[in-house]
Amino acid sequence: MNIRAQANTRSSLYNGNKLKLGLFAANCSSGRAATKVPERWRATWDDNLELAQMADAAGLDFLLPIARWKGYRGETNFHGSVLEPTLWAAGLLAHTKQITIFSTIHAPLFHPVVAAKQFATADLIGRGRMAMNVVCGWNQDEFDMFGIENREHSQRYAYGKEWLQVIRRLWESEGEFDFDGKFIKLKGLISNPKPYLGSRPLIMNAGASPAGQDFALEQSDILFNLLVTPEQGAKAVAAARARANELNRQDIKIFTAGYYVCRPTRKEALDYHRYYVEENGDLDAYDHLLDLQFPNPEARNLHGADALRMRHIGGNGSYPMIGSPDDIAEELKMISDIGYDGMAASFVNYAEEFPYFRDEVLPRLERLGLRTKL
Ligand SMILES: Cc1cc2nc3c(=O)[nH]c(=O)nc-3n(C[C@H](O)[C@H](O)[C@H](O)COP(=O)(O)O)c2cc1C
């Protein structure tokens, strides 16, 4: 059975929407905004259930959680409360109808036999709507809680490759098999039940380095890459597609991440952005996050420059989409035009802000030909 061809027919990520839209990080307290404003996202289960059902009914394509095990301190302890992504996904799959739901999973923290079975189970709960964002880890602070040392960078992806190979074989193999890799050596492997209808969960990866991008291009269905400016994004997409061609992966989808501040006028949106980022940013949490992410001072200065600092507080370093519904629709058109297939984005308070986006931005995207009507 050609499992990739089967995967291409599954669920909403292969529907007619030219630009797939998803919500990012709703399982984490404060979502992607390191802000002290009182309306910041609490990420309770009830919040998540309400949001997932709204997104599902509105025809959004996917939900993507963050796997984070320890908060970034500061007054708000940004990401201090995080619903475990695989259980979160399984719970939401049981309460939704069409939307694809990812879990984000750290390959070094979960045994592949456990992960294969968790994802197959969730895929059955969602009747083929479970998906996997596999991450190889960067945050030693949280790895310390597991007593695990992060491998040297390229080795992280070499390990991830073996980890995924084991999982895919567990999903596919009818009989027992042994796995004799460089890192993983296991005997008599078998896992049942299989994922939904002989298919498998879609796989995404967000590696940014050459090793990470090659891993994503070789091993996954969806590559995530960072959009900083339209010019840089267009180049990044072109480079990823060229590399995908070399690897004979023309079928790969390329997604990126951003955040929305959508208000009736551009001025209102900019005012709100100033309020939650500049006047109420949780600078201590932001500084701690940067210390962890960029221990090298040169990289840190690069990412800590003022404009990027605002972007980090506003949406965890992702692409800002701030303005009226027309402005946001134009931004999303630009993102589609430069070659992205999908956008995972956040709001400060997802459940409060999503209905306005649904009512005002989604119809504009339909008129622009980026989305089909439900
Ligand atoms: C959209 C997106 C989602 C990510 N989700 C997580 C996550 O949930 N947990 C995590 O530890 N890292 C996450 N990462 C970080 C990546 O896995 C990766 O470590 C980072 O992009 C650096 O890439 P590199 O390892 O190739 O240098 C995410 C990155 C992106 C762009």
Domain residue ranges in the chain: 3-367
Beta strands in 108-199 (DSSP E): 130-135, 177-180, 185-189
Second-level CATH architecture of 3-367: Alpha-Beta Barrel (3.20)
Residue 39 scores a pLDDT above 80: yes
Axis crossing angle, helix 283-293 with helix 306-315, rounded to the nearest 10: 100
Distance in angstroms between the alpha carbons of the first and the last residue of the chain: 32
**What's the pLDDT at 297?**
66
How large is the average pLDDT for residues 44-60?
98
- Model confidence pLDDT, tens digit, residues 15-30: 889 999 999 999 999 9
Distance 108 CA to ligand 1 centre (A): 14
Q: Could you tell me the CA-to-CA distances from 118 to 84, 111, 222 in Å, in that order?
A: 12, 11, 20
Residues 167-201 have pLDDT tens digits of 999 999 999 999 999 999 999 999 999 999 989 99
The 10s digit of each residue's pLDDT in 237-293 is 999 999 999 999 999 999 999 999 999 999 999 999 999 999 999 999 998 998 898
58 phi and psi, to 5 degrees? -85, -5
Q: Quick one: which H or E segment has residue 169?
A: helix 153-172
Q: pLDDT band for position 300 (50/70/90)?
A: low
Distance 152 CA to ligand 1 centre (A): 16
Q: DSSP secondary-structure letter at 185?
A: E
Report which of residues 306 and 45 the model is more confident about.
45
Which residue(s) pair with 194 in the sheet?
none
For residue 3, is pLDDT > 70? no
Distance 69 CA to ligand 1 centre (A): 14
Q: Which of 66, 151, 312 to mutate to test the pocket of ligand 1 (most atoms within 8 A of CB)?
A: 66
Q: 315, exposed or middle or buried, with CB in 10 Å at 0-12, 13-18, 19+?
A: buried
Q: Residue 8 pLDDT > 80, yes or no?
A: no
Helix and strand numbers (H, E) in the chain are: 14, 11
pLDDT at 309: 79
Q: Is the pLDDT of residue 295 over 70?
A: yes
pLDDT band at 4 (very low <50, low <70, confident <90, very high): very low
Using DSSP's 3-state secondary structure scheme, residue 361 falls into helix
Q: How far is CA 151 from CA 138, 160, 165, 284, in A?
A: 9, 11, 19, 28
Residue 143, pLDDT > 80, answer yes
Q: CA 203 to CA 223: how far, in whole Å? A: 9
- Determine the Cα–Cα distance for residues 129 and 112; give it in Å rounded to an integer: 20
Pocket test for ligand 1, best of 104, 135, 204, 209 (most atoms within 8 A of CB): 135
Q: Is 138 in the pocket of ligand 1 (CB under 6 A)?
A: yes
**Each residue of 202-240: pLDDT tens digit?**
999 998 888 999 999 999 999 999 999 999 999 999 999
CB 371 within 8 A of CB 62: no
